[in-house]
């Protein structure tokens, strides 16, 4: 029986291993983590992450061929294939601060593997890492090898949160990079056989190590670039009277462009896009390619611009001040169907509104009040000017309330900001919400989930990203 161990029971490691266990009943899969609370949650009825379909998969395999454990060393020692899926945040200090990936967790995982291994291992890079990380890991392992042979593979994960299980069941492609030596090819084949249990052979792509590593960074950069492109066009739509949905539809009909990832929004968030682009920027700079670095930086700059443009629009349309006004925020997660708030645009928007002394009332169906408070209290790291850290005033965070009900959040509010595209926000009783708000009542739709015309009929003043503006908004021009 092949034994797989995955180091890191997070958003990537947990769901990926659960699906491997489900699809490969003859493989034993153990997910290990240094966080005892995380492992306890994976072993309980309340999984540590919310992901549609995940609970079902875990329930089918847990205790059968899927296990969660804190005994990292034991399971690493016993495994044939070790996936490493630990966090790789952006460095906040030292060399490369603000851009480079912090590989502390990766390095300590590699050293631990070298310490405890007694048999040959295939070590698989699962977390997104800078290009050539595999080579560094290989060095750590072979310099501490005690005669054991290690093969390093890069097998980046392309799942998106909220659709993780669907993406894992039916991936567009599985990418496996390895050394072009006989041993390397053998290791690639071994991993290929795992995926071949459910993924059609023609969707399993094999490349050299660096192509695999770079493909992950490039895919995320190009996806994010599409969003920044359409968001940049959204600003122009507002200025000209074009409608960004119509433009995106027309553009996406070109089969060379395609319709996906062209939804204008208040900005992209999530743990990957910004981090991976910054990583790419740093790698370009280190390789003497400043023009390429500047090109990709612009994708993040437009994203930052989109968020501050939204805040400016809110403030300017409410007579240039939101001081003391209640603003309801619907949605805090970085996208629908997840409770994840990493890099969510809601953090920057709320901080911007708090900076103008608004009183904010937040409702998100999956994010806890504690999480929201932690996010808002955290210092924002300025990637472009890493020397300046913006302090967040604790008194500002006191102006935030978190509720478990959209009607409660919007009661008595002057304005409503929709920051996540949860389906339930499409079905709210907006007439009831209008009744209970201060007048004039504003809605700022950062995700284009509501029908502006219908809301205008109720009496709202409506701003939708990239859509033709109300007369009111035209009369109150924002500095954008």
* Residues involved in catalysis: 272
Binding of ligand ADP by 333 (CB under 6 A)? no
What are the helix (H) ranges across 241-289?
244-252, 273-286
Q: How far apart are CA 65 and CA 3, in angstroms?
A: 10
- 109 contact choice in ligand ADP, ligand UDX, none (CB below 5 to 8 Å, kind-dependent): ligand ADP
- 6 in contact with ligand ADP (CB under 6 A): no
Contact with ligand ADP (CB under 6 A) among 20, 30, 31, 86 = 86
25 vs 52 by CB, closer to ligand ADP: 52
Which residues contribute to the site for ligand UDX (CB under 6 A)? 157-161, 220, 223, 227, 261-263, 265, 268-270, 272-273, 334-335
By C-beta, is 33 or 470 nearer to ligand ADP? 33
Instruction: To the nearest 10°, report the CA torsion of 182, 185, 190, 196.
Output: -150
Cα distance from N-terminal residue to C-terminal residue, the chain = 60
Task: Work out whether 392 is an interface residue with ligand ADP (CB under 6 A).
Answer: no
Q: Is 21 in the site for ligand ADP (CB under 6 A)?
A: no
**Close Cβ partners of 381 (under 8 Å, ≥ 6 residues apart):** 90, 92, 98, 389
Name the minimum Å distance from CB 4 to ligand ADP: 15
Cα 97 to the center of its chain, rounded Å: 20
Tokens of 103: 């590989």
**Both structure tokens of 139:** 């060095």
**How far apart are CB 125 and ligand UDX at their closest, in Å?**
14
Q: Does 160 bind ligand ADP (CB under 6 A)?
A: no
Interface with ligand ADP, residue 38, by CB under 6 A: yes
Q: Residue 172 has which token pair?
A: 């567009």
CA–CA separation, 329 vs 447, rounded Å?
12
Binder to ligand ADP among 12, 124, 176, 333 (CB under 6 A)? 12
Question: From the centroid of its chain, how far is CA 264?
Answer: 17
List b or e across 311-337, with b for residues whose CB sees 16 or more CB atoms inside 10 angstroms: bbbbbbbbeeebeebbbbbbbbbbbbb
Select the residue interacting with ligand ADP from 81, 109, 280, 402 (CB under 6 A).
Answer: 109
Which residue's CB atom is positioned nearest to ligand ADP?
A: 10
Given ligand UDX, ligand ADP, none, residue 263, with its beta carbon under 5 to 8 Å by kind, binds ligand UDX
Applying CB under 6 A, does 343 fall inside the site for ligand ADP? no
Please say which residue, 245 or 344, places its beta carbon nearer to ligand ADP.
344
For the four alpha carbons of 212, 206, 79 and 145, in that order, the dihedral sign comes to: negative
CB of 268 to ligand UDX, least distance (A): 3
d(CA 303, CA 266): 8
Site for ligand ADP in 257-316 (CB under 6 A): 271
Q: CB 478 → ligand ADP: shortest distance, Å?
A: 35
Closest approach, Cβ 295 to ligand UDX, in A, equals 16
Binding span for ligand ADP by CB under 6 A among 9-17, 274-282, 298-306, 460-468: 9-17
Q: Assess contact for 327 and 40: CB atoms under 8 A.
A: no
Closest among 330, 366, 336 to 48, alpha carbons compared: 366
Question: Who contacts 235 (Cβ-Cβ below 8 Å, separation ≥6)?
Answer: 305, 306, 309, 466, 480
Which CB atom, from 227 or from 330, has the smaller least distance to ligand UDX? Answer: 227
Across the beta sheet with 442-445, the strand order is: 400-403, 359-363, 326-330, 415-418, 442-445, 461-464
**In angstroms, what is the minimal distance from the CB of 158 to ligand ADP?**
13
437 part of the interface to ligand ADP, by CB under 6 A: no
Least distance in angstroms from the C-beta of 93 to ligand UDX: 25
In the complex with ligand ADP, the residue whose CB is nearer, 65 or 127, is 127
Distance CA 475, CA 472 (A): 5
Contacts of residue 152, defined as CB under 8 A and 6 or more positions apart, other chains included, come to 123, 124, 125, 134, 137, 138, 141, 178, 179, 209
Pick out residues in 66-85 that bind ligand ADP (CB under 6 A): 72, 85
Give least dist CB 360 to ligand ADP, A: 27
How many angstroms separate the CA atoms of 67 and 54, rounded?
A: 15
Count of chain residues binding ligand ADP (CB under 6 A): 21
Residue placing its CB nearer to ligand ADP in the complex, 13 or 177: 13
d(CA 307, CA 442): 18
Give the residue nearest to ligand UDX (CB): 270
Q: Does 137 bind ligand ADP (CB under 6 A)?
A: no
Distance of closest approach, residue 208 Cβ to ligand ADP, in angstroms: 23
The yes or no reply on residue 108 touching ligand ADP (CB under 6 A) is yes
Residue 220 contact among ligand UDX, ligand ADP, none, beta carbon within 5 to 8 Å by kind: ligand UDX
Residue 452 interacts with which of ligand UDX, ligand ADP, none, CB < 5 to 8 Å by class: none
Q: Are 359 and 326 in contact (CB under 8 A)?
A: yes
- Pick the binder of ligand ADP from 90, 117, 127, 448 (CB under 6 A): 127
Evaluate whether 375 touches 340 at the Cβ level (below 8 Å): no
């Amino acid at each position: 029986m092949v034994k797989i161990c995955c180091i890191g029971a997070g958003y990537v490691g947990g769901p990926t291993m659960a699906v491997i266990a489900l699809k490969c009943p003859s493989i034993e899969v153990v997910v290990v983590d240094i966080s005892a609370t995380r492992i306890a949650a994976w072993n309980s009825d309340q999984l540590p992450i919310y992901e549609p379909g995940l609970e079902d998969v875990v329930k089918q395999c847990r205790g059968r061929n899927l296990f969660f454990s804190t005994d990292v060393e034991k399971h690493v020692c016993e495994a044939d294939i070790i996936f490493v899926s630990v966090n790789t945040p952006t460095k906040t200090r030292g060399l490369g601060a603000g851009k480079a990936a912090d590989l502390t967790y990766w390095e300590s995982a590699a050293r631990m593997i070298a310490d405890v291994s007694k048999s040959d291992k295939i070590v698989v890079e699962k977390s997104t890492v800078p290009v050539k990380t595999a080579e560094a890991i290989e060095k750590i392992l072979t310099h501490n090898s005690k005669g054991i042979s290690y093969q390093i593979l890069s097998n980046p994960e392309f799942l998106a949160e909220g659709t993780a299980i669907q993406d894992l069941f039916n991936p567009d492609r599985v990418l496996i990079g390895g050394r072009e030596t006989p041993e390397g090819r053998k290791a690639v084949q071994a991993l290929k056989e795992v995926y071949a249990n459910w993924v059609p052979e023609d969707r399993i792509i094999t490349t050299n190590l660096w192509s695999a590593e770079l493909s992950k960074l490039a895919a995320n950069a190009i996806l994010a670039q599409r969003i920044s492109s359409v968001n940049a066009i959204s600003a122009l739509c507002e200025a000209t009277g074009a409608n960004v949905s119509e433009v995106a539809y027309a553009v996406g009909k070109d089969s060379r462009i395609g319709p996906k990832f062209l939804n204008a929004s208040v900005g992209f968030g999530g743990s990957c896009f910004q981090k991976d682009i910054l990583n790419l920027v740093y790698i370009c700079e280190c390789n003497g390619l400043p023009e390429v670095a500047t090109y990709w930086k612009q994708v993040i700059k437009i994203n930052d611009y989109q968020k501050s443009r939204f805040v400016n629009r809110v403030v300017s349309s409410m007579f240039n001040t939101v001081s003391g006004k209640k603003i309801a925020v619907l949605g805090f997660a970085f996208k629908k169907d997840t409770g994840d708030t990493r890099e969510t645009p809601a953090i920057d928007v709320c901080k911007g509104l708090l900076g103008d002394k608004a009183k904010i009332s937040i409702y998100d169906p999956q994010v806890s009040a504690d999480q929201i408070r932690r996010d808002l209290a955290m210092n924002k790291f300025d990637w472009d000017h890493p020397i300046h850290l913006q302090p967040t005033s604790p008194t500002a965070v006191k102006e935030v309330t978190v509720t478990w009900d959209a009607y409660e959040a919007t009661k008595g509010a002057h304005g409503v900001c929709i920051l996540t595209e949860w389906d339930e926000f499409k079905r709210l009783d907006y007439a009831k919400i209008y009744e209970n708000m201060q007048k004039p009542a504003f809605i700022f739709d950062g995700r284009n989930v509501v029908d502006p015309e219908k809301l205008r009929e109720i009496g709202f003043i409506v701003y939708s990203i990239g859509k033709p503006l109300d007369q009111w908004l035209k009369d109150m021009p924002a500095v954008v």
